[in-house]
Amino acid sequence: MARARMTFLNEQEQTLIHEQSIKTLEKIGVQVQSRSVLELLEQKGAAVDYDAMIAKLPEKLVNASLETAPKEFSLCARDPKHDLKFPSYPYPYATTSGLAVKVTDLRTGEYRASTRKDAAEFAKLADALNPVDFLWTSLTATDVPAFAHGPHELWATMQNTSKHVQGVTVQSAEDARVQVELAALVAGGSDALRARPLMSVISCPIAPLSFERGAIEAQVEFARAGIPICSMSMSMGGITAPVTVAGTITNANTENLASIVITQAACPGSPHIYTSESAPMDMQTGAINYSAPEKTLIAIGLGEMANRYGIPCLVSDIGFGDETHPNVGPFSDLAIQIMGVASRTDILTGMGCVDSAKGICFGQLVVDAYIWECVREFMKEVHVTEERIGLDAVAEVGHAHHFLKSKHTRRFMRDEITQWDPSKVEMLSSDAKTVIAEANRIAEQLLKDHQVLAFDEDLIQQGDEIIRAYEGRLAA
Amino acid sequence: MAANDIYEEIMQCIADGDEDWARELAQKGLDEGVSPLDLIENGFTPALRAVGERWDTGSIFLPEMILSADAMKAAVRVLQPALQEAGGGAHDMKTCVVGTVKGDIHDIGKSIVGALVEASGLAVIDLGTNVETELFVNAVRERGSCVIGLSALLTTTMVEMKIVLDELAKAGLRNQVRVAVGGAPVTQAFADEIGADGYAEDGMSAMHLIQELAAGLDPAPGESMSKVA
Ligand code: B12
């Protein structure tokens, strides 16, 4: 079966990148700002300098970790029909963006600090939209105690979707334990959660080559609970990674390998998703340049590296907002993202995001979902068989005639040729004002009509109690 | 004339961002009897200003600008003792202390602001990321009157900015300093709410803001540069 994918690095180039990553891990090492995680790595064969907090990871350890990291697993959902099997096929799965600090108010249009209520409502909208396969915790609950915002966001999101939820923020091992407790409550216990992980997490190294204490101790905690980890390298070419495409790819690859070693050291066989949100810096301002063509090249290269290791990956985006209201986005973003979706990624993130991932907009989620529904057809499965090629039909039709009345045409036309939904195409092709009005109208309508798979009242109370108890412990 | 030659060389060396050369030229200037203040005011400062203008118009990139600022810094370090000896001028160079607040390790925005402020001619002390409140307070104790630039990229750490302001007040230092705040979740409204003296959204406006705030500081001769040396 055929499926269109971009190719970029040849075998030799991939090998060089892998070897340079191994050399980095063996010679330069990674900084891990946690004594307990350093001890764990030392037990597994790393050479550790506790003063500098540097662990040098031998090739053997990296290879062993790549071996135990599962090649196939699922991100599960409250409603099993939304389970996500990896590797993805034929389309990558698309998820919402996160963890924004601002939201465009759906009713007033005001761009303001987000609340827990916004997080809940946005989750409901994502639940309603078919092309959104699962959810990140998308909005910061700025109205709850700051140290407990992660559990609040996870809990508000889980209650408002029956799809899988990926948490974007965690501050410490204890925070991780609280999040696991919440997910286990829904799954029906910790064994049930391990068997069907209803949540997964984003865990970021600090480029270049460093792991912050809170995040990495949380990662170990999650891995032990069987929660899949996305080790999101945010390598910024020119700032936190070498400026070159090859240098940025190698840095992100190295950080992912180190993170996989940590997950596997914590719990061999624990699922891990190779993840990157890397791009060059904007040469003028030093901000991340999410509109650079090189961002897509980096994504395609990293997708190839992950494929080479056989580890599922999240390396590319789908999300077009650059204003604070719904829009189809500038040409540059459209171009590079549409190229990027055809990388070998298993997951695309970014839906609903505006303002360089600082904001979330309800109408933007509608726009992004519609675009994705159209664009993903480029990646559909195409069967190349004698039957589909149709020589019988060719013989039957003969020279200089047409296939309009051929059985072959009737047999395959619906299945083979994409019909984009005309109303969606029309909306996306409208002028800016119409896009805003329509996208917001659709978002409001969906929020009014959609019913989320019911969530047990008792569970809600128990979960609220877990969070309250956590807040109490921290306040004390 | 020797002095003119050296100013041309300084112009070139700052444009190249060549630290070693900058140090050499500073020493050479002193050896040739040019006053340290002249070297700064007629040499290094206009050279860096020219680089800043080129960056502003997009003809050079940020990394080049930062290297140029570093070269200037290296030269000033060489000139420092002579300046103090001469007892004049540059020790009323205003200081800006920058840092990312406690619990927050986002480094990039803060570092860019620091580099730009430095390029604009202020002395910059970068306390790094995840900075304990106490370190900001200590820096003010040591430096005296200065601008503090606080950066926070997380909603969880924005509150630390308020704590820094409170601690400065408690230590009786609040009116010696001007506090600027910035970072992704920070807004003008938040800055007002916590009683900061200014907010800026990006590097360029941060630089202008901090320059303005520095200009408003009481000139505190003898309190800044000379005190720590
Ligand atoms: C790169 C990045 C990281 C990198 C940082 C690398 C580094 N060495 O600094 C890494 C990967 C380490 C990281 C980690 C995390 N991050 Co982060 N990160 C970002 C990202 C994408 C860009 C930040 C950046 O560098 N921008 C480029 C610079 C140039 O811009 P800037 O920082 O805004 O600075 C400019 C202005 O703000 C201003 N300014 C800045 N400081 C100051 C100071 C003064 C005085 C003034 C006047 C002006 C000023 O001028 C600067 C220059 O133009 C932002 C999203 C975003 N678009 O901001 C998220 C973001 C800030 N991170 C976020 C999150 C969630 C995290 C993590 C919790 C993720 C995790 N799951 O582990 C951790 C937290 C770690 C910690 N304890 O701090 C969220 C914050 C959400 C929230 N509720 O607070 C954001 C908004 C992304 C998102 N939408 O999810 N992150």
B41 and B101 within one domain: no
For the Cβ of B228 lying below 6 angstroms from any atom of ligand 1, the answer is no
Phi/psi of residue B107, nearest 5 degrees: -110, -30
* Domain that residue A39 falls in: 11-64
- Burial of A386: CB neighbours in 10 Å, binned 0-12, 13-18, 19+: exposed
Quick one: closest CA in B to A240, which residue?
Answer: B108
B206 and B136 within one domain: yes
CATH assignment of the domain containing B191:
3.40.50.280
Three state DSSP letters for B62-105: HHHHHHHHHHHHHHHHHHHHHHHHHCCCHHHCCEEEEEEECCCC
Q: From A41, A64, A87, give the residue that closes a domain.
A: A64
Residue ranges of alpha helices (H) inside A188-244 are 190-195, 213-224
A357 and A323 within one domain: yes
A83 and A38 within one domain: no
Q: Which residue has the tokens 């865990």?
A: A203
Look at residues A320, A423, A378 and name the one whose alpha carbon lies nearest to residue A2: A378
CB pair distance less than 8 Å for B156 and A146: yes
The model carries a pTM of: 0.89
A230 and A101 within one domain: yes
Residue A231: partners with Cβ closer than 8 Å, 6 or more residues away: A203, A204, A205, A219, A255, A256, A259, A260, A263, A272, A273, A274, A275
**Helix, strand or coil for residue A91?**
coil
Helix (H) or strand (E) holding A393: helix A391-397
- Burial of A393: CB neighbours in 10 Å, binned 0-12, 13-18, 19+: middle
Q: Which atom of ligand 1 is nearest to the CA of B154?
A: 84
B97 and B70 within one domain: no
CATH assignment of the domain containing A316:
3.20.20.480
B185 and B208 within one domain: yes
A239 touches chain B (CB under 8 A): yes
Cα distance between residue A301 and residue A245, in whole Å: 9
B136 and B190 within one domain: yes
According to the model, what pLDDT value does residue B228 have?
34
Where b means 16+ CB within 10 Å and e means fewer, A58-72 reads beebbebbbeebeee
According to the model, what pLDDT value does residue B90 have?
45
Cα distance between residue A160 and residue A305, in whole Å: 35
CATH assignment of the domain containing B57:
1.10.1240.10
Residue B127 resides in a domain: yes
Cα distance between residue B22 and residue B16, in whole Å: 10
Residue A64: partners with Cβ closer than 8 Å, 6 or more residues away: A264
Residue B91: partners with Cβ closer than 8 Å, 6 or more residues away: B83, B84, B221, B222, B224, B225, B226
Residue B178 bridge partners (DSSP): B147
If you write DSSP's letter for every residue of A153-186 in order, what string do you get?
HHHHHHHT-SS-EEE----SHHHHHHHHHHHHHH
- pLDDT-above-70 percentage for chain B: 91
- Burial of B221: CB neighbours in 10 Å, binned 0-12, 13-18, 19+: exposed
pLDDT digits (tens, 9 = 90+) for B128-154: 999 999 999 999 999 889 999 999 999
- Token pair belonging to A313: 């990956």
B140 and B165 within one domain: yes
Instruction: Give B120's pLDDT tier (boundaries 50, 70, 90).
Output: confident
A289 and A158 within one domain: yes
B173 and B97 within one domain: yes
Sign of dihedral through CA atoms A19, A23, A26, A29? negative
pLDDT digits (tens, 9 = 90+) for B23-42: 999 999 999 999 988 998 89
Residue A115 resides in a domain: yes
A366 and A240 within one domain: yes
Cα distance between residue B82 and residue B84, in whole Å: 5
Q: Whose CA is nearest to atom 31 of ligand 1?
A: B109
pLDDT digits (tens, 9 = 90+) for B168-201: 999 999 999 999 999 988 999 999 999 999 999 9
Residue A74 resides in a domain: yes
Chain B CB contacts of A113 under 8 Å are 155, 185, 187
A282 and A343 within one domain: yes
Q: From B85, B102, B129, give the residue that closes a domain.
A: B85
Instruction: Give B221's pLDDT tier (boundaries 50, 70, 90).
Output: very low
A39 touches chain B (CB under 8 A): no
A398 and A330 within one domain: no
**Helix, strand or coil for residue A98?**
coil
B205 and B122 within one domain: yes
Counting every residue written for chain A, the total comes to: 476
* Domain that residue B56 falls in: 3-85
Residue B142 backbone zone (phi > 0: left; psi -120 to 50: alpha; other: beta): alpha
Residue A83: partners with Cβ closer than 8 Å, 6 or more residues away: A74, A75, A76, A77, A164
DSSP structural state of residue A46: -
If you write DSSP's letter for every residue of A271-318 in order, what string do you get?
-EEEEE--EEBPTTT-SB-TT-HHHHHHHHHHHHHHHHHT--EEEEE-
Residue A171 resides in a domain: yes
A358 and A264 within one domain: yes
According to the model, what pLDDT value does residue B227 have?
34
What's the gap between Cα A272 and its chain centre?
Answer: 12
Residue B25 resides in a domain: yes
Question: Which of A112, A172, A211, A285 to probe by mutation at the B interface, max B CB count within 10 Å?
Answer: A285
- Token pair belonging to A154: 């996870």
Residues A388, A393, A395, CA angle at the centre, nearest 5°?
Answer: 130
Residue B177 bridge partners (DSSP): B146
Residue B98 resides in a domain: yes
B98 and B182 within one domain: yes
A237 and A325 within one domain: yes
Q: From B37, B63, B85, give the residue that closes a domain.
A: B85
Residue B220 resides in a domain: no
Residue A442 resides in a domain: no
Q: How many domains does chain B have?
A: 2
B185 and B106 within one domain: yes
A160 and A74 within one domain: yes
Looking at the partner chain, which of A101, A236, A283 has a beta carbon nearest the beta carbon of B155? A101
A258 and A117 within one domain: yes
Cα distance between residue A197 and residue A299, in whole Å: 26
Q: How many domains does chain A have?
A: 3
Q: How many CB atoms lie within 10 A of CB B229?
A: 10
Longest dimension (CA), chain A: 86
**Helix, strand or coil for residue A32?**
strand
B108 and B77 within one domain: no
For the Cβ of B108 lying below 6 angstroms from any atom of ligand 1, the answer is yes
Q: Which residue has the tokens 């029906």?
A: A188
A280 and A154 within one domain: yes
Chain B CB contacts of A147 under 8 Å are 156
CA distance A391 to chain B (A): 59
Residue B108 resides in a domain: yes
Residue A136 bridge partners (DSSP): A166
Phi/psi of residue B149, nearest 5 degrees: -110, 110
* CB distance A226 to A45 below 8 Å: no
For the Cβ of B184 lying below 6 angstroms from any atom of ligand 1, the answer is yes
Residue A3 resides in a domain: no
What order do you get walking across the sheet with A199-203 strand by strand?
A93-96, A347-351, A313-317, A272-276, A229-233, A199-203, A165-167, A135-136
B43 and B128 within one domain: no
Cα B108 to averaged position of ligand 1 atoms, centre (Å): 8
pLDDT below 50 — which residues of chain A? none
Helix (H) or strand (E) holding A74: strand A73-75
Cα distance between residue A460 and residue A450, in whole Å: 20
Residue B8 resides in a domain: yes
Q: From B85, B106, B132, give the residue that closes a domain.
A: B85
Q: Whose CA is nearest to atom 32 of ligand 1?
A: B109
Chain B CB contacts of A100 under 8 Å are none
According to the model, what pLDDT value does residue A335 have?
87
